[in-house]
Amino acid sequence: MASSIEWRDVIKKEARGLNDADLGEVQEVTQDNVITKSGVFDKEIYCIPKSLVQGYDGHNLLFRVTKEEAENKYKTKD
């Protein structure tokens, strides 16, 4: 599914994980990762591998990752 995504179309779209976890808004897509940012004051930035993308519904980029996994493995420093 991820191979058919037009990556430029997901910029500024919502990123969602398993159980509708809020992973922020897509800021950038690199060769291997999707960079998302959430929060206004306490910003959280995630660098999530493209291999974890489950799909894209036109509004949300869906990942096969829980909020806890994203916090523990993919959260980066601002």
DSSP conformation class of 28? E
CA distance 42 to 20: 20
27 Cβ partners below 8 Å, 6+ apart? 11, 35, 36, 37, 45
CA distance 58 to 72: 28
Coil, strand or helix at 54:
strand
Q: How is residue 65 written in tokens?
A: 């990752």
Count CB atoms within 10 A of the CB of residue 41: 4
Q: Tell me the average pLDDT across 45-51.
A: 97
Residue 9: is its pLDDT beyond 80? yes
Structural domains in the chain? Answer: 2-76 (2.30.30.240)
Q: What is the pLDDT of residue 42?
A: 84
